[in-house]
Amino acid sequence: MAITGAAELLAAWEAGLGQAPVGRALLLHRTARPDVDTGRLPQLPVGEREADLFALRRALFGER
């Protein structure tokens, strides 16, 4: 995952300010899965996307 701390999280947040909610979600998913081509991310199964975003959340904020 590319986000490793507060500065990276803030940069991702600011990058998504001008985007629609779906664009912000895609930005976070791209951050969680930098190994996957951006064009392929929307094609991933919903469960895989949710698992990726939850793993990003856990990495940033812990289990709680």
pTM: 0.77
Task: Note the pLDDT tens digit of each residue in 9-55.
Answer: 888 889 999 999 999 989 989 988 989 998 999 999 999 999 999 99
Helix or strand holding residue 28 (H, E)? helix 21-32
Inform me whether the pLDDT recorded for 1 exceeds 80: no
The larger pLDDT score, comparing residue 64 to residue 2, is at 64
Where exactly are the structural domains of the chain?
A: 6-61
The pLDDT confidence band at residue 5, using thresholds 50, 70 and 90, is confident
The pLDDT confidence band at residue 3, using thresholds 50, 70 and 90, is low
